[in-house]
């Protein structure tokens, strides 16, 4: 009886909480549905929480924010389509998954483009030529989205199912999972790898079944999706810094009065800065956790041979993929 009573109390509390959330949404003038693709712990979800808190507070309750993490609203390509219709309002995700509609985002998957997480916002943050460039692309590409902010969510590192990576030669012949990005495919081919395009939501199964036997990701993504179970060899190559975008549906943006537009944009900028802080903290703490708690074999390759391998083809890749303008902006 005590167990049943506790269960009923828990259910009642959940129903009351849901009712309160719905009541808050109904009381607001506007409700923003926010999509992230990942499970916590992850900077995207931390950013979504920070965005929600600031928007609701600074709008004095005129805007309610509902967060749907872990791909509840779909994978990124479908979500981008929904953003165009205004049925999903805001997304926080990696630029890699937006490459089919923003091809210029491919530049951010070029290895060793940035010096460190500490300085990345100096290159892509608000007020930079890079942000202005991509904001203009968003305006003209017809996807129906407005760019609010660019940020960074950690270093991306190599992991494999069976092979420990200590040097570039260890990559040769491995089937490398890539997102739908020409830059990724051409980059890893330069290391003698065999690119295989796999959606993030299908990556665990692909590694488990041998469709792919190597992958790269941020440490929070690797940990949160339990990819260490199928790719237990982690090499801290730090070959790219994962750039993310926070974007809003143009339809949604157009419905907001100017004062609330400013609230939303300011909150996105603040959330992206917070995301960088969280990403740096995750990168530091997760390696130890992965090794000690999950039995991940961690290697720390010398980055110099990897940089030496890719440096000669960076300009060539940028030119070949029509990204010379973006490359020049980032290398200024």
pLDDT in tens, 100-155: 999 999 999 899 999 889 999 999 999 999 999 999 999 999 899 999 999 999 99
User: What pLDDT is attached to residue 26?
Assistant: 60
Structural domains of the chain, with CATH: 2-331 (3.40.190.170)
Q: How far is CA 160 from CA 154, 230, 307, in A?
A: 19, 8, 20
The pLDDT tens digits of the residues spanning 206-223 come to 999 999 999 999 898 899
Using CA of residue 247, residue 252, residue 253, residue 259, what is the dihedral sign? negative
| Helix (H) or strand (E) run with residue 216 in it | strand 214-218
Question: Do 40 and 9 contact (CB within 8 A), yes or no?
Answer: no
How confident is the model at residue 290, as a pLDDT? Answer: 96
What is the DSSP secondary-structure string of 23-39? HHHHHSSEEEEEE---P
Residues with Cβ within 8 Å of 62's Cβ and at least 6 positions away in sequence, in order, are 28, 29, 30, 260
- In the predicted structure, residue 11 carries a pLDDT above the cut 80: no
Task: Return the closest-CA partner of residue 58 out of 198, 297, 256.
Answer: 256
Answer yes or no: is pLDDT of 165 > 80: yes
The answer to whether 287 and 219 are in contact (CB under 8 A) is yes
Peptide bond into 325 cis (omega under 30): no
Mean of the per-residue pLDDT values for the chain? Answer: 91
Closest CA to 286 of 234, 212, 213: 234
Residue 292 confidence (pLDDT) above 70: yes
Kindly report the length of the chain. 332
Pairwise pLDDT comparison (200 vs 19), residue with the higher score: 200
Quickly count: other Cβ atoms within 10 Å of residue 8's Cβ: 10
Q: How far apart are CA 125 and CA 275, in angstroms?
A: 12
């Amino acid at each position: 009886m005590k167990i049943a009573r506790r269960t009923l109390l828990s259910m009642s509390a959940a129903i009351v909480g849901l009712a309160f959330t719905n009541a808050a949404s109904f009381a607001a003038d506007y409700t923003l549905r926010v999509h992230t693709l990942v499970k916590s712990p992850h900077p995207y979800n931390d950013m979504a929480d920070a965005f929600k808190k600031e928007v609701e507070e600074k709008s004095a309750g005129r805007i309610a924010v509902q967060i749907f993490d872990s791909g509840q609203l779909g994978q990124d390509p479908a979500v981008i389509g929904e953003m165009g219709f205004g049925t999903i309002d805001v997304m926080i995700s990696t630029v890699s998954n937006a490459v089919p509609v923003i091809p210029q985002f491919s530049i951010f998957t070029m290895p060793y483009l940035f010096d460190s997480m500490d300085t990345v916002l100096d290159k892509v943050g608000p007020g930079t030529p890079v942000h202005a460039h991509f904001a203009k692309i968003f305006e003209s590409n017809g996807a129906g989205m407005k760019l609010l902010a660019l940020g960074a969510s950690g270093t991306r590192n190599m992991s494999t199912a069976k092979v420990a990576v200590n040097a570039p030669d260890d990559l040769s012949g491995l089937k490398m999972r890539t997102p739908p990005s020409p830059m990724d495919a051409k980059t890893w081919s330069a290391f003698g790898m065999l690119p295989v395009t796999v959606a993030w939501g299908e990556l665990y199964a692909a590694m488990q079944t041998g469709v792919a036997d190597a992958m790269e990701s941020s440490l929070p993504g690797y940990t949160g999706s339990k990819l260490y179970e199928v790719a237990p060899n982690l090499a801290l190559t730090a070959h790219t810094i994962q750039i993310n975008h926070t974007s809003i549906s143009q339809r949604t943006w157009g419905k907001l009065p100017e004062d609330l537009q400013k609230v939303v944009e300011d909150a996105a900028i603040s959330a992206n800065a917070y995301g960088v802080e969280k990403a740096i903290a995750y990168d530091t703490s997760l390696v130890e956790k992965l090794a000690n708690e999950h039995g991940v074999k961690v290697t720390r390759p010398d980055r110099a041979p990897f940089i030496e391998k890719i440096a000669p083809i960076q300009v060539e890749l940028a030119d070949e993929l029509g990204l010379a303008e973006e490359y020049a902006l980032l290398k200024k």
